[in-house]
């Protein structure tokens, strides 16, 4: 596996660009607006008529570190592509069970959206592919300050990666802490990692999910 694409990450702050498929629906537009706040060093671009290769070239010239494309099917967000620039890797995820901040129940008890850098929890990425996936995800964030009250969790369970976003408040004495969900929430299903950037169709695949292979035991690709 390639391991040097993130060699400059410690001296190069994440700079993320979000865009969508063409003519995004209102739910997709709302979801991407919320994602933009989740990732502090990000901006959103209306794609218009641009093709992927044009977007990637523009990103490279503006020192964007990661391009995230969000896709939908019949008004429901259903896919997320994370392409690290300038030369990859690119991870392709299915996107399931999206719940925006607007739709989370108990909104009165919901935490306020903060733009501080979050503490990151990556749970059960124990295989080689899992470690690779965790590397791609963690480099979308900067190290937080110790007093940051934001927590973002990517937790792998049975090959589905749950994303949750919380803030915590010290509501009483020294040992008391209240965790409030901020949203949005969703699940990711990794199905491919390519060595190149997203527009490099000839790039070698590092991992491809093969769900239709009959095996006696369900294979764990991301974690235990």
Residue 217 lies in a domain: no
pTM metric for this prediction: 0.90
pLDDT tens, position by position, 123-132: 999 999 999 9
Residue 176 lies in a domain: yes
Q: What is the pLDDT of residue 179?
A: 86
Asked whether 175 and 46 are in contact (CB, 8 A), the reply is no
Tally the domains of the chain. 1
As a whole number, mean pLDDT of residues 2-6 equals: 71
Strand pairing report for 90-99 and 42-44:
unpaired
Which residue from 185, 175, 42, 162 is spatially nearest to 110, judged by alpha carbons?
185
Cis peptide before 184 (omega within 30 of 0): yes
Q: What share of the chain is helix, strand, coil (3-state, %, to 5)?
A: 20, 35, 45
Other beta carbons within 10 angstroms of residue 159's beta carbon come to: 18
CB within 8 Å of 147: residues ≥ 6 apart? none
Residue 133 lies in a domain: yes
Asked whether 119 and 148 are in contact (CB, 8 A), the reply is yes
Residue 63 lies in a domain: yes
Q: Is residue 103 very low, low, confident or very high in pLDDT (cuts 50, 70, 90)?
A: confident
Q: What is the pLDDT of residue 222?
A: 87
Residue 222 lies in a domain: no
Which residue from 109, 42, 111, 41 is spatially nearest to 70, judged by alpha carbons?
42
State which residues form the domain around 72: 16-208
Rounded-to-integer distance, Cα 34 and Cα 30, Å: 6
CATH assignment at residue 138: 3.40.50.10480
Q: Where are the beta strands (DSSP E) in the chain?
A: 16-20, 42-44, 66-73, 76-84, 90-99, 119-123, 150-157, 160-169, 178-181, 185-194, 205-208
Residue 121: left if φ>0, alpha if ψ -120 to 50, beta else—which one? beta
Residue 202 lies in a domain: yes
CB within 8 Å of 167: residues ≥ 6 apart? 111, 112, 114, 149, 150, 151, 179, 180, 182
Q: Is residue 163 very low, low, confident or very high in pLDDT (cuts 50, 70, 90)?
A: very high
């Amino acid at each position: 596996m390639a391991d040097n694409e993130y060699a400059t990450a410690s001296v190069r702050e994440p700079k993320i660009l979000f865009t969508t498929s063409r003519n995004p629906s209102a739910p997709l537009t709302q979801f991407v607006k919320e994602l933009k706040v989740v990732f502090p060093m990000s901006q959103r671009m209306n794609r218009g008529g641009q093709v992927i290769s044009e977007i990637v070239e523009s990103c490279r010239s503006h020192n964007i570190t990661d391009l995230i494309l969000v896709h939908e099917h019949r008004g429901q967000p259903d896919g997320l592509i994370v392409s690290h620039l300038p030369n990859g890797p690119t991870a392709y995820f299915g996107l399931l069970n999206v719940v925006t901040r607007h739709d989370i129940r108990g909104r009165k008890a919901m935490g306020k959206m903060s733009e501080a850098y979050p503490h990151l929890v990556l749970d059960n990425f124990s295989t080689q592919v899992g470690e690779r996936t965790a590397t791609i995800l963690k480099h979308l964030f900067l190290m937080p300050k110790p007093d940051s009250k934001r927590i973002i969790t990517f937790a792998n369970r049975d090959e589905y990666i749950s994303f949750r976003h919380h803030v915590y408040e010290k509501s009483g004495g020294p040992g008391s802490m209240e965790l409030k969900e901020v949203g949005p929430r969703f699940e990711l299903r990794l199905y491919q990692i390519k060595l190149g950037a997203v527009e490099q169709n000839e790039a070698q695949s590092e991992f491809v999910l093969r769900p239709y292979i009959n095996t006696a035991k369900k294979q764990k690709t991301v974690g235990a």
